[in-house]
Structure 1
């Protein structure tokens, strides 16, 4: 009996560390979780791409270097760059640097960030919510870019990127939050008429918008996105396009 008890105790002790870690509490905890275990590859890639500037002659070369570190992204970029939507003239594009020349620096950067979002988010769970959020984000981004071009914005692609990532927190949460996402989903089903941000605050203690802002600042996704999330269109009118 004593031996059995010892074995039982040891076994319990061995299995304890294997249990799933509890979900984090608070906004900062979720920002850290998504960066470390949910979307670390996206966080790294997005930060590198966002930090590349086209204000110098080295911009195109630096962007090419970042993209070429990821073979899968390189292949997807070239496929998109040769599609009729982005390349209606049918100009052959076989290198990243050529894509930058033909499509433009901002266009290629926007495509790369889009690819990074899709690749990372679709690895998560809660597929229905993720797909719905992603579809809305891409639709909104295309519309925002079109509107920005009509307004002669200095960088329509920057507006596209900021709009695309405006609901990054929503997508990341549904993809990687596990039990917390299930809890949130149940709350939505039980309180279908509740205002979305109020429901998020009640259940999670923060809004998805706050999570996006936290991720944006942590991963340095761009000042325009930050200002849009903070509602600072008075300081930067371009934020109102997002």
Structure 2
């Protein structure tokens, strides 16, 4: 009988397949999950901005980093204040948000206190090349410069991941490279049994990365795609800006950039200086502080670094006020996008009030079941798992009671146990929670539920008032939507 092969531990990968599995499943599961989620949403014509926002909001760390970067001068040069993910998608566009989500999750996966010098060098080169490649793409009028950014950032994804998680094998390879007598690819094969460029391709295949990203990773010499030339130019810039770069190589690189952008030589030189500073700043925003210092070693300091962020992360009350202002703007702004409004209301409750789990559930056509429509913060065994609550009329359960009340319910953990059916307890537990119904033409169509199931922080009267206000705004939006004949 054949034995099932054992999965290698983090400490002992010995083949290309071992390394691919370890990086994908054990060291970088956050990035693996994000890549799959983004791929599914972007590739499904039935899904749109609301689905993307919902996916981002499941991860508080990702949400915070994305909003911080959305307010940076690099991504938001017109300084439009962005306090919600929904607003970020509207202002910056899905393509930019896709870039930010992939980049943020990538750096969240690879950055750690154990990163050593070689890892920081690889990260610095990747960010530096990505920023320059995107700038060149913009100058050439490329339709999707964000894709160029990601392709340049991830083209050496295996190499970067290896140096972030290499341990003993990395020390052996570092020693061989430091000796200087063995070419890099030979040293890699001697220590690992494969070249790191092969790990790039293996991870690309494993994560199902497509399009320009795949082309950049595979590095086919016969590919003459003009956009690949831009990615390669971004990488070339990093090489020529190194401390001991050949002046002839620098001049040749300038000529290639002027040829495809139409810029003058002086304009290109100024652009290189500007975007080197921008790359260092973006590296810091991603949390790659050591990489930022490496990028700026031969560049001037970013003089206005402290002033580039539009605002610090607002406190909870300020955030509630800002989100409610945006909701008011939506309600008074003409034709109403009800999905966008509901997404913003859910985000306002989740982040503005500080809830761990928030859900908008709608009544089934037979009005016998509440089914999840949008859910933020729920920990699931499977991304395909959805939440549903059968309604019980006599005696009413927790959710039936909430549907019958327009004022909202605040349920404590020791509230009348008869309201919580065994199914309800299995799905949401016995946590204190807020519930409030959503109405259309004086009939309940669903409700909004929220709790602090993970942190266990107590709910307050102020929290309940804020919750009711957000849901009331959603109900006003539903009424306006109906009047517009939708």
TM-score (norm 1): 0.83
Match of 2:128 in 1: 139
1:116 aligns with 2:105: yes
Match of 1:24 in 2: 13
1:227/1:236 contact within 8 Å kept? no
CA shift at 1:124, angstroms? 6.4
Give the 3 Å change call, closer, same or farther, for CA 225–85 of structure 1 in structure 2.
closer
Give the 3 Å change call, closer, same or farther, for CA 80–56 of structure 1 in structure 2.
same
Match of 1:184 in 2: 173
Q: Which structure: larger Rg? A: 2
CA shift at 1:235, angstroms? 6.6
- In the alignment, the residues of structure 2 paired with residue 166 and residue 104 of structure 1 have an alpha-carbon distance, to the nearest angstrom, of 24
Match of 1:13 in 2: none
- In the alignment, the residues of structure 2 paired with residue 113 and residue 193 of structure 1 have an alpha-carbon distance, to the nearest angstrom, of 37
Q: Which has the higher strand share?
A: 2
Give the 3 Å change call, closer, same or farther, for CA 77–168 of structure 1 in structure 2.
same
Which structure would you say has the larger RCO, counting Cα contacts within 8 Å and 6 or more residues apart? 1
1:194 corresponds, among 182, 185, 195, to 182
- In the alignment, the residues of structure 2 paired with residue 224 and residue 85 of structure 1 have an alpha-carbon distance, to the nearest angstrom, of 22
1:150-179 CA deviation, whole Å, 9 max, x = no partner? 232231111111111112111211111221
2:71 corresponds, among 76, 82, 90, to 82
1:219 aligns with 2:207: yes
SS in 2 for 1:52: helix
1:43 aligns with 2:32: yes
> Would you say how many aligned residue pairs link Structure 1 and Structure 2?
222
Gaps of 5+ in 2: 1-8, 232-486
2:50 corresponds, among 51, 61, 71, to 61
Match of 1:203 in 2: 191
Match of 2:86 in 1: 97
> What is the RMSD of the two structures over their aligned residues, measured on CA atoms?
2.2
1:125/1:178 contact within 8 Å kept? no
1:128 aligns with 2:154: no
CA shift at 1:71, angstroms? 0.6
Gaps of 5+ in 1: 1-19
- In the alignment, the residues of structure 1 paired with residue 183 and residue 202 of structure 2 have an alpha-carbon distance, to the nearest angstrom, of 22
Give the 3 Å change call, closer, same or farther, for CA 74–126 of structure 1 in structure 2.
closer
- In the alignment, the residues of structure 2 paired with residue 113 and residue 236 of structure 1 have an alpha-carbon distance, to the nearest angstrom, of 23
TM-score (norm 2): 0.43
- In the alignment, the residues of structure 2 paired with residue 185 and residue 162 of structure 1 have an alpha-carbon distance, to the nearest angstrom, of 26
2:10/2:26 contact within 8 Å kept? no
- In the alignment, the residues of structure 2 paired with residue 163 and residue 135 of structure 1 have an alpha-carbon distance, to the nearest angstrom, of 12
CA shift at 1:31, angstroms? 0.3
- In the alignment, the residues of structure 2 paired with residue 193 and residue 23 of structure 1 have an alpha-carbon distance, to the nearest angstrom, of 27
